[in-house]
Amino acid sequence: MRIFRLYQINKVMLQHGLDEMIPPKWLPWYAKIARNTFFWLTNKHKDKSEGARIRLALQTLGPVFIKFGQMLSTRKDLLPLDIAKELSILQDQVEPFDSEQAQQIIRHAFGLQRIDQLFSEFDSTPLASASIAQVHSAKIQDKNTGQDQEVVVKVIRPNIKQTIQSDIELMRTLAGVLQKLLPDGKRLRPVEVVEEYERTIIDELDLTHEAANGIQFKQNFENSPALYVPKIYSDYCHKNVMVMERIYGTPISDIEQLTARNTNLKRLAERGVEVFFTQVFRDSFFHADMHPGNIFVAYDNPQDPQYITIDFGIVGTLTREDKRYLAENFIAFFNSNYRKVAELHVDSGWVPSDTDIDDFEASIRKVCEPIFKKPLAEIEFSNVLLQLFNTARRFNMVIQPQLVLLQKTLLYIEGLGRQLYPQLDLWQTAKPFLENWLKEQIGFKAMYNKIYANLPYWSEKLPEIPDLVYDSLKQVKTLPEQQRLQFENQQIQLKQQHKSSQCVMVGCSLIIVASILPIYQNSMWPSITCASAGVICWLLAWKVKKL
């Protein structure tokens, strides 16, 4: 199965001419021989641009590859503009599947004969189509008011799970090979990264899971001026069907329309950073698929713009320890305290404990100092990333699989910020938020909040405290007597062990003598007598030990 899928991937890449984009000098001799071996797989899309061929190849290969294309589409600083523009089509314009098949999935999910038994209106033309699912507009009747409510119906693509699982198995196999062959294999931990990715994308195939995430996000940002989360109609949700409120807004990638609406792009970019850090550090529950196809800007109040987000299939969470280390790292970076950054990496176990702190600090300073105090437009992130990777390799920095989703999301946010407002100072925007969060975690307010949160538990246990104190004092009073008895028992045990050891030694000596006596005596009786005495000594030793 894996070999067949690997052949399919090679076939698609060759048929879309992706091999032609690699300069010949970069290809080793065995790659050239392999390419000539598949001479019948020629480029069938010579009339299309490089960007279109890459997009079509990723789209043909399925959701795992489409997700990769979506992430790349936000990085116009790392890709040629024409390729990034083509890849942005993968955000919500993937080729849809048949609408009749979508209706059949809906009917089967709810046990219906006709689609109008559930929806008063249903548009068979998809609103949008992405890697995992496609959405249709519809109307349902509100149970309280009796009025029709505009909704969107999300339907999982048929037979998508098998394709994803085969790709994941192939990725796991390749990751296992890389982990064994590469010098940095253990440090990069590719197998664990693939397993982390598998958990997230498999969860995305269960729309009841996404519905629960959406409800949680709505609770977290209830009445927030920064982010609006549409209502999820949980009564209409199934494993492969989800119904939620229809929203209207400007796609975040449509800069021309945002500018035409006189949107405050600087405020919008800053608010995006605030929303991200709020999700990560306040809620420890963040949207981990924030590509432009999932983000809109509300039409109302363009000078104080509000985000609207959809698609909650992939979310990330962090432990309290990870949040603390990340926040302290960010603050140290923002304050150019590279010594603190180096020490935090050692304390957290991200680099070996024997790392030379001075050398590590100097390396981090060399990479990061040139980019601070600069707006996004002036930062060459491709060069920065390359230097960071080299630094990580040099100091054996261990990849943290639990942070992969966070790193991917941060790339999305930085890419969006670059598009919206290239002059944005990412560091100064995030610094006040993180400083306040740290104060709430370790200051007097944090101590007060913890005490207040535990008051119900403490008030329940308060009546038991006098009895517990009395029992403790009683145990303290009897402690000297208990220690005396324990000491006497230990002395008795030591004496018994000593006697047992002596009996064993005497028994062994007698048996050795018994085995030698026949050499010097014609009679066997002295030997038998010694052996019997030795056995008796062993029995005495066993009896003493049992006492």
Tokens of 32: 């050239």
Three-state SS at 309: strand
Look up residue 277 and give its two tokens: 């850090």
408 annotated ligand-binding residue = no
Match 């609103």 to its residue by tokens: 127
Q: Is 546 annotated as a binding residue?
A: no
Binding residue per annotation — 387? no
Residue type, 279: Q
Establish whether 9 is an annotated binding residue.
no
Determine whether the annotation assigns residue 497 to a binding site: no
**Considering just the CA atoms, what is the radius of gyration of the chain in Å?**
35
Strand partners, 463: none
- The β-bridge relationship of strands 241-245 and 148-156 is antiparallel
In one-letter notation, the amino acid at residue 304 is D
Amino acid of residue 396:
N
Angstrom distances, CA of residue 352 to CA of 23, 348, 356? 38, 10, 9
Identify the residue whose tokens are 């302290």. 328
| Three-state helix/strand/coil letters over 246-265 | CCCEEECCCHHHHHHCCCCH
> 456: phi > 0 → left, psi -120 to 50 → alpha, else beta; which?
alpha
Q: According to the annotation, is 131 in a ligand binding site?
A: yes
Residue 382 annotated as binding? no
Cα–Cα distance, 127 to 493 (Å, whole number): 83
Among 167, 289, 311, 425, the active-site one is 289
CA distance 304 to 299: 10
What does the DSSP assignment read for 204-239? HT-HHHHHHHHHHHHHHTTT-SSEE-PPB-GGG-BT
Tell me how many degrees the CA angle 40-42-44 measures, rounded to the nearest 5.
135
Q: Is 112 annotated as a binding residue?
A: no
The reply, when asked if residue 133 is annotated as ligand binding, is yes
Contacts of 25 (CB under 8 A, 6+ apart): none
Which pairs from 487-492 meet CB under 8 Å and 24+ separation?
A: none
**CA pair distance 218, 308, nearest whole angstrom:** 11
479 assigned binding-site residue: no
**Cα(50)–Cα(20) distance, rounded to whole angstroms?**
10
Residue whose tokens read 């994803």: 164
> Token pair 């959809």 is at which residue?
310
The tokens for 369 are 């100092």
| 232 three-class SS | strand
289 carries an active-site annotation: yes
Strand runs (DSSP E) across 142-283, as ranges? 148-156, 227-228, 241-245, 249-251
User: Strand, coil or helix: what is 298?
Assistant: strand
Please state the residue numbers annotated as binding site. 127-135, 154
Please state the residue numbers annotated as binding site for ATP. 127-135, 154
Active site residues: 289
